[in-house]
Amino acid sequence: MPNEITVAGIRLPANVFLAPMAGYTNYPFRKMCRELGAGLTFTEMVSAKGLLYGSEETKKLLFSPPEESPRAVQLFGSDPEVMRSACESEELAPFDLVDLNMGCPMPKIVRNGEGSALMENFPLAEKIISACAKSGKRISVKFRTGIREGDRMAAEFARLCEGAGACMVTIHGRVREKIYAGPVDFAQIAEAKAAVKIPVIANGGIWCDKDANKMFQRTNADGIAIGRAALYRPQVFAEIAGYEEPPILPLFEEQLFSTKELYGERFACVFMRKMAAFYLKGRRGVAEKRRALFAVPNTDELLILARELF
User: Are residues 178 and 64 part of one domain?
Assistant: yes
Alpha-carbon span 223 to 269, nearest angstrom: 34
Judge if 303 and 174 occupy the same domain: no
Say whether both 232 and 252 belong to one domain.
no
Span of 91-105, 218-232, 286-300 with lowest mean pLDDT: 286-300
**Mean pLDDT, residues 296-306:** 96
User: Within this chain, do residues 18 and 164 fall inside the same structural domain, yes or no?
Assistant: yes
- Chosen domain end from 241, 262, 279: 241
Phi, psi of 73 (to 5 degrees): -120, 145
Provide the annotated active-site residues: 104
DSSP 149: T
pLDDT given for residue 1 in this prediction? 67
User: Residue 251: is its pLDDT beyond 90?
Assistant: yes
Consecutive H or E run containing 57: helix 56-60
Q: Are residues 108 and 214 in the same domain?
A: yes
Determine the Cα–Cα distance for residues 275 and 119; give it in Å rounded to an integer: 32
pLDDT of residue 193: 98
Residues 155, 65 share a domain = yes
Nearest to 23 by CA among 292, 260, 267, 224: 267
Q: What is the pLDDT of residue 81?
A: 97
Residue ending a domain, among 219, 241, 263, is 241
Domain boundary among 217, 241, 265: 241
**What per-residue confidence (pLDDT) applies to 287?**
85
Q: What is the mean pLDDT of residues 119-134?
A: 98
Same domain, 70 and 168: yes
Alpha-carbon span 25 to 43, nearest angstrom: 6
Do both 200 and 270 map to the same domain? no
Give residue 120's domain range.
5-241
User: Is residue 219 located within the same domain as residue 254?
Assistant: no
Chain centre distance of CA 94: 18
- Cα–Cα dist 128/103, whole Å: 14
pLDDT of 288: 87
Which has the higher per-residue pLDDT, 1 or 85? 85
H or E element that contains 201: strand 200-203
Q: Domain check: are 227 and 270 in the same one?
A: no
Higher pLDDT, 292 or 254: 254
Per-residue pLDDT tens over the stretch 131-141: 999 999 999 99
154 CB contacts (<8 Å, ≥6 apart)? 143, 144, 145, 146, 171, 185, 188, 189, 191, 192
Supply the pLDDT for residue 214: 97
The enclosing domain of 39 has a CATH number of 3.20.20.70
| pLDDT exceeds 90 at position 59 | no
Percent share of the chain, pLDDT over 90 = 91
8-48 tens-digit pLDDT: 999 999 999 999 999 999 999 999 999 999 999 999 999 99
Higher-confidence residue of 131 and 181: namely 131
Task: Judge if 156 and 71 occupy the same domain.
Answer: yes
pLDDT tens profile 261-296: 999 999 999 999 999 999 998 888 788 889 989 999
Which of 97, 32, 92, 102 is closest to 62 using CA atoms? 92
- Closest by CA position to 270, among listed 21, 59, 26: 26
